[in-house]
A and B are shown apart, each in its own frame.
Chain A
Amino acid sequence: MPAFSSEERQLLHDSATEYFADRYGPERALALTRDDGPDGFGRAEWKSYAELGWLGLMLPEDAGGSEGGLTEAAILFAAAGAELAAEPLIPCLVLGAGAVTGLGTEAQQAALEGVAEGEKILGFLHYEPGSGFARDHVETIARPTADGYALTGDKAFSAGAHAADLLVVSARIGGPDGPVGLFLVPGDAGGLHRVPAPALDGRRGAAATLDGVAVSADALLGGTTDDRLAAIDRLLDRAALAVCADMLGAMTKASEITTDYLKTREQFGQKLSSFQVLQHRLVDMRICCEESRAAIHAALTAQDENAPDAAIAAWRAKAETARAARFVGGQGVQLHGGMGMTDDLGIGHYYKRLSVNEALFGDAAWHIDRLAAREDARAAQPAAPEMAGA
């Protein structure tokens, strides 16, 4: 049974949509991301999210949360995406907190303290310079020491990692062939060097180098040296789905903005919206939004019901949504003409956000390859029912 009733979901949707429409938008996003300070997002906004109960949406009750599912969080992410919110909601809530909630021991749940209150931001460092989108390629090593582990390796640019107070970091335990574990690493740990940078859309993140970062034995999530690759894969599927929700918000808004623009812009003595070729373009943009919404909805339901095809539904949703986003973002700029190219106007920022989101946690082509690999598995085992993973 879902933790939230339909009414509660509607309420969440309404309050989130209203909040972001009133308090956010491209201008605010620009002011925050272009700020010279180290954050590139709104600390005050983060506090408001906490006060509104959003940071605890998916957290356990013990951590001050309301135990909602990914669907509830997705409602929030879509509203945030629609107004280009720059805060690291997905890395903190889905990945960082998701890893601790799902894999941490009882004692380790203490790491969640302060998250719901907006006092602590969690991050996630998994991908590496040599991994690309592949999720099972980890070269970072956690070498056992007298009282814990020493982590050494390079992590690729990761959204939100620049601001995280506590990072969940993957590493192979013992050596290059060891099992992959997830470790809790404080942002100020000695030997952790973060290189902050903006992404294409201005949202910030960091790449990181770990040079013998010393952590205690209880930093290993779950306290066992079991291999965590499958769990990481599931976490990243959830994060990809969360990004789909952000994309859905952003592409729906981009498509509305473009439709409105063509209704007001005149050339050749008529509204641009009167040209049939442009009408059809707007219609295709809208269809893209509807398709994405449907695919995302199906995947969210599968996630929250723990359905056997939850992973596959997430891959399909990411591939469909990423493709739709490319079309909607590209046409949004195109149909604005020169106005689409200015940094002053919102539409270009939607283009950039959609471009970044397309790639986050695997792009369309990569996800379709995963689906194709599943066909191989099906061919090898003709009688097998739908499988939960590749």
Chain B
Amino acid sequence: MFINAAAPRDPNLEKFRMEVREFCQTEIGPEMRRILDLGQHLPKDMHDGWLKALGRKGWLTGHWAKEHGGLGWTPEESAIFRDETDGAAAPWLAPFGVTMVGPVIYTFGTPEQKARHLPGIRKNDVWWCQGYSEPGSGSDLASLKTRAVRDGDDYVVNGQKIWTTLAHWADWIFCLVRTDPDAPKKQQGISFLLIDMKTPGITVRPLITLDLGHHLNEVFFEDVRVPAENLIGEENKGWDYAKFLLAHERVGVAEIGKFGRYLAQLRKLLGETREGGRPLSEDPGFRRRLAELEMNLSTLKAMHADALAQGTPGLISAAALKIRGSELQQAILQTMTDVLGRHGLAYQADALMAGWNGELVGPEESAGILAEHLHRRAATIYGGSSEIQRNIIAKGALGL
């Protein structure tokens, strides 16, 4: 079909939208609001408090089916929830538990694994991180080398993961490990393991990124004994579960709901920044760019809605959304950076610490915006790089 027939609007959905909006307004207190508005680093306890509040409402996993303890939201309801929380610049909905390992566990896990892990994810009692990438295996994930050898009731894990977001906060990590190095295809010798971060032999080392923030880590495994009951599904079938999960990751990774918030920030910045004494919001070049970014966002949202309406988004939609979403994110942040160029691009990274009271240079939001700009250079790299997404469309959809 060239034209997708749109479903009529459902008034109940609008009620839900208002409910989420109101919740965000009341639950995000002034202290947290200020940290979020300035783009400062949110301390773990505050972040945790917010996610737990969502957990109590059941909203953290509202998109899970009722049989798994979710609310059985429709795709539209999930979209509204994301839209509203992103739009309120609520703290990041770390996906590692709720949209990544959770669905893997309820789809492929044993009854014991479900009973043990799902409640902690629903309530955010447990922080998870994703141990996929390795120094030698990024885009070519299936070449991963971290080794797990069966020894009695345990696997013994040796190797290294890298770029592990939030490993320094995480209680558990889900890992892809090599269990059969001799399998005829490299995808066939991989298993999916759940590992308690407190297990002896695990070392976490911070990786500081361009924004000077600590988001990423290296995780080293040295003779780490993991009970075999923590294996998901079958040994050597891990790649299948990983692929299932990657499909989930790609749709969520674009965080489109945030972009409207960025644009509001850009508009504010344009109004407050003067060139030759006049606000930049009157500058024809910036007016044009703003209009273009708004157009791109509205198209992206329409693409997203179409993809959701199809149920599980097709290959092209997911990859295209990831490509265009990350590009737009970078374009908006670049435009804000161009405005801040008028202030000489001073970057006071210390101002990102909540409670900083040094002497400010330039607009008070600038450190947060520039940090986001630098950090989101990675948006076209993580979750499958733009090049890899294009390969997916080329091979999978165009048959090239």
- Chain A interface (Cβ within 8 Å of chain B)? 127, 129-134, 136-137, 156-159, 195, 197-200, 205-207, 266-269, 275, 277-278, 326, 330, 333-334, 337-338, 340-344, 348, 351-352, 355-356, 358-360, 363, 365, 369
B387 lies within 8 A of A277 (CB): yes
A359 lies within 8 A of B344 (CB): yes
Chain B residues positioned under 8 Å from A351 (CB to CB): 210, 377
Chain A residues positioned under 8 Å from B209 (CB to CB): 341-343, 348
A278 lies within 8 A of B387 (CB): yes
Q: Which 8 A-B pairs have the closest CB atoms?
A: A132-B275, A359-B341, A134-B276, A157-B344, A267-B140, A132-B342, A197-B361, A200-B347
Which of B208, B210, B274 is in CB contact (< 8 Å) with A132?
A: B274
Q: Does B128 contact A (CB under 8 A)?
A: no
B285 lies within 8 A of A365 (CB): yes
A-B contact pairs, 5 of them (CB 8 A): A131-B277, A134-B276, A200-B374, A338-B162, A355-B337
A338 lies within 8 A of B381 (CB): yes
Name which residue of chain A comes closest to B208, CB basis. A343
Chain B residues positioned under 8 Å from A131 (CB to CB): 274-277, 342
B361 to chain A minimum Cβ distance, whole angstroms, is: 4
- Could you tell me the distance between the alpha carbons of A132 and B362 in the complex, rounded to whole angstroms? 12
- Could you tell me the distance between the alpha carbons of A200 and B211 in the complex, rounded to whole angstroms? 9
Q: Hey, what's the 0/1 contact readout for B116-140 against A, CB within 8 Å counting as 1? A: 0000000000000000010011111
Q: Does B343 contact A (CB under 8 A)?
A: yes
Most buried by B among A127, A134, A200, A352: A200
Chain A residues positioned under 8 Å from B285 (CB to CB): 365, 369
Chain A residues positioned under 8 Å from B386 (CB to CB): 334
Name which residue of chain B comes closest to A270, CB basis. B140
Most buried by A among B143, B208, B274: B274
Chain B residues positioned under 8 Å from A205 (CB to CB): 344, 346
Name which residue of chain A comes closest to B186, CB basis. A269
Chain A residues positioned under 8 Å from B280 (CB to CB): 132
Chain B residues positioned under 8 Å from A352 (CB to CB): 210, 374
CB within 8 Å for A127 and B139 given contacts A132-B273, A277-B387, A343-B210: no
B140 to chain A minimum Cβ distance, whole angstroms, is: 4
Which of A134, A268, A326 is in CB contact (< 8 Å) with B139?
A: A268
A56 to chain B minimum Cβ distance, whole angstroms, is: 27
Q: Does B45 contact A (CB under 8 A)?
A: no
- Could you tell me the distance between the alpha carbons of A207 and B133 in the complex, rounded to whole angstroms? 43
A75 to chain B minimum Cβ distance, whole angstroms, is: 26
Where chain A touches its partner, the secondary structure class is mixed
B335 to chain A minimum Cβ distance, whole angstroms, is: 10
- Chain B interface (Cβ within 8 Å of chain A)? 133, 136-140, 143, 162-163, 207-210, 212, 216, 273-277, 280, 285, 334, 337-338, 341-349, 359-362, 370, 374, 377-378, 380-382, 385-387, 390
Which of B276, B338, B360, B378 is in CB contact (< 8 Å) with A341?
A: B378
Q: A137-B275, A199-B344 are in contact. List 6 more A-B contacts (CB 8 A).
A: A131-B342, A156-B362, A195-B359, A195-B361, A267-B139, A277-B387
CB within 8 Å for A363 and B212 given contacts A131-B276, A132-B274, A278-B387: no
Name which residue of chain B comes closest to A356, CB basis. B345
CB within 8 Å for A199 and B347 given contacts A131-B274, A359-B341: yes
A200 lies within 8 A of B359 (CB): no
A337 lies within 8 A of B346 (CB): no
Which of A133, A199, A278, A340 is in CB contact (< 8 Å) with B377?
A: A340
Chain B residues positioned under 8 Å from A134 (CB to CB): 275-277
CB within 8 Å for A337 and B276 given contacts A195-B359, A363-B338: no
Name which residue of chain B comes closest to A329, CB basis. B377
Chain A residues positioned under 8 Å from B381 (CB to CB): 334, 337-338, 340-341
- Could you tell me the distance between the alpha carbons of A137 and B273 in the complex, rounded to whole angstroms? 14
B362 lies within 8 A of A338 (CB): no
B92 to chain A minimum Cβ distance, whole angstroms, is: 17
Chain A residues positioned under 8 Å from B387 (CB to CB): 275, 277-278
B360 to chain A minimum Cβ distance, whole angstroms, is: 8
A315 to chain B minimum Cβ distance, whole angstroms, is: 15
Most buried by A among B273, B337, B344, B360: B344
B345 lies within 8 A of A359 (CB): yes
- Could you tell me the distance between the alpha carbons of A251 and B306 in the complex, rounded to whole angstroms? 41
A207 lies within 8 A of B361 (CB): yes
- Could you tell me the distance between the alpha carbons of A199 and B139 in the complex, rounded to whole angstroms? 33
- Could you tell me the distance between the alpha carbons of A55 and B274 in the complex, rounded to whole angstroms? 35
Chain B residues positioned under 8 Å from A277 (CB to CB): 387, 390
Name which residue of chain B comes closest to A338, CB basis. B163
CB within 8 Å for A365 and B208 given contacts A157-B361, A197-B346, A356-B345: no
Name which residue of chain B comes closest to A34, CB basis. B212
Name which residue of chain B comes closest to A204, CB basis. B346
CB within 8 Å for A267 and B275 given contacts A157-B362, A197-B348: no
- Could you tell me the distance between the alpha carbons of A283 and B387 in the complex, rounded to whole angstroms? 16
Chain B residues positioned under 8 Å from A198 (CB to CB): 346-349
A127 lies within 8 A of B210 (CB): no
Most buried by B among A132, A278, A344: A132
CB within 8 Å for A338 and B138 given contacts A157-B362, A343-B209, A352-B374: yes
Chain B residues positioned under 8 Å from A341 (CB to CB): 209-210, 216, 377-378, 381
A156 lies within 8 A of B344 (CB): yes
Chain A residues positioned under 8 Å from B274 (CB to CB): 129-132
B106 to chain A minimum Cβ distance, whole angstroms, is: 30
B140 lies within 8 A of A268 (CB): yes
A342 lies within 8 A of B346 (CB): no
Name which residue of chain B comes closest to A326, CB basis. B334
A379 to chain B minimum Cβ distance, whole angstroms, is: 17
B133 lies within 8 A of A338 (CB): yes
A175 to chain B minimum Cβ distance, whole angstroms, is: 16
Chain A residues positioned under 8 Å from B136 (CB to CB): 266
- Could you tell me the distance between the alpha carbons of A267 and B384 in the complex, rounded to whole angstroms? 14
CB within 8 Å for A334 and B139 given contacts A132-B276, A200-B345: no
Name which residue of chain B comes closest to A359, CB basis. B341
A331 to chain B minimum Cβ distance, whole angstroms, is: 10
Chain A residues positioned under 8 Å from B334 (CB to CB): 326
Chain B residues positioned under 8 Å from A129 (CB to CB): 274, 343
B346 lies within 8 A of A136 (CB): no
Name which residue of chain A comes closest to B133, CB basis. A338
CB within 8 Å for A363 and B276 given contacts A157-B346, A369-B285: no
Chain A residues positioned under 8 Å from B208 (CB to CB): 342-344
Chain A residues positioned under 8 Å from B378 (CB to CB): 338, 341
Which of A130, A207, A348 is in CB contact (< 8 Å) with B346?
A: A207
- Could you tell me the distance between the alpha carbons of A343 and B390 in the complex, rounded to whole angstroms? 28
- Could you tell me the distance between the alpha carbons of A206 and B362 in the complex, rounded to whole angstroms? 11
- Could you tell me the distance between the alpha carbons of A133 and B337 in the complex, rounded to whole angstroms? 14
